[in-house]
Amino acid sequence: MLILGIETSCDDTATALVRDGRDVLASVSTNQDAFHAKYGGIVPEIASRQHVALLSAAVDDALERAETRLADVDAIAVTRGPGLIGSLVVGVAAAKALAFALNKPLYAVNHLHGHIFAAFLDRAEAPPYPFLALLVSGGHSQLVDVRSATEMRVIGRTRDDAAGEAYDKTARLLGLGYPGGPQLDALAQRGNPKAHAFPRHRPDAGSLDLSFSGLKTSVRYFLESDEGRAAKPEDVAASFQAAVVDVLIARVTRAFDEGSYNAVVLSGGVASNSALQSALRSWSEKRNIPAFIPPPKYCTDNAAMIAAVAYHQSDATHADPLTLSANPNLPFAPPVSP
């Protein structure tokens, strides 16, 4: 089954052609960072206008790279939400038009499910169910109990900032450019993670929830202090990163202590963080539990993951009607089997 995936939930205009939810024939992502950089964050109106300008060419580009034609596509998959409404509308409208014109089924999927199924792309072995997914992106930080493509439950979530948001805000405090996460990661690699003891905040001993706003605030107060002004930025970056990673690994450990899982999946933009990846890999070796970490191109927003989740959910659900609309607040609950 060849699926054309379209992802426009935020600021990446992405298209992909994926066979059987696994083999990526093409994955194209037009990064809009240059248009948003001078504002220090994503400007929703600019993002939607860029999607309008870029999407048709991105579909053609994916088809060309995959050496295939629209007529060979079996279904269209698109991100329905959550995300920026103006951005989502562009992708959903394009996907509905294509599905109608080609008379092919439309699967409108949840962006967060997509991040989890990025772990199935371009690899011989799929993560064995049930598995725990740690989903850390610019908009979300969650622990998800995944029993199947249509049985997924959020068992821990952030109470305030998402992990990526904490990275971006802390990067800004350090005077780094946008998007801050990858730049902070690079800076931290030259620093000492033990130089400064930032708090490891875990709300309620009994829950799997996360919280990052206190950490960001304590970095801010530290940078305003005499000690902070004299500190090396790379040490601050590395110490902040160590605190984030410690909290995330502690939550994964607790989830495994409470539940029974065959694997752990790391996904979302922050999954490409080098410190988090190496900490999770050593955790997985110590516990002898396989860790599935997609390559960076599938960790950040992309359309291959959208095509993948549509394929895996299509067994259990009907195609969506062409009257469907984008939903910026789409709940996490997976589609219900017919």
Query: Least separation, in Å, of the C-beta of 337 and ligand KG4?
Result: 27
Q: Does residue 161 bind ligand KG4 (CB under 6 A)?
A: no
User: Any idea what DSSP says for residue 207?
Assistant: -
Among 127, 269, 294, 334, which residue sits at the site for ligand KG4 (rule: CB under 6 A)?
269
Q: Does residue 268 bind ligand KG4 (CB under 6 A)?
A: yes
Instruction: For residue 298, give the nearest of 163, 141, 81, 114 by alpha carbon.
Output: 114
Q: What does the block give as tokens for 206?
A: 């009994």
Among 21, 114, 181, 191, which residue sits at the site for ligand KG4 (rule: CB under 6 A)?
181
214 binds, among ligand KG4, Zn ion, none (CB under 5 to 8 A by kind): none
Cβ pair 163, 177 in contact under 8 A = no
Determine the interface stretch with ligand KG4 among 29-37, 89-97, 100-108, 267-275 (rule: CB under 6 A). 267-275
- Cβ proximity to ligand KG4, 75 vs 267, nearer residue: 267
Cβ pair 12, 305 in contact under 8 A = no
Spatial CB neighbours of 25, under 8 Å, sequence gap ≥ 6: 2, 16, 17, 18, 19, 65, 66, 67, 68
Please provide the DSSP assignment of 293-320 as one string.
---HHHHSS-SHHHHHHHHHHHTTSPPB
Among 86, 179, 191, 294, which residue sits at the site for ligand KG4 (rule: CB under 6 A)?
179
Among 149, 176, 270, 308, which residue sits at the site for ligand KG4 (rule: CB under 6 A)?
270
Query: Least separation, in Å, of the C-beta of 83 and Zn ion?
Result: 8
- Cβ proximity to ligand KG4, 73 vs 326, nearer residue: 326
Give dist(CA 122, CA 131) in Å, integer: 19
Query: Least separation, in Å, of the C-beta of 34 and ligand KG4?
Result: 16
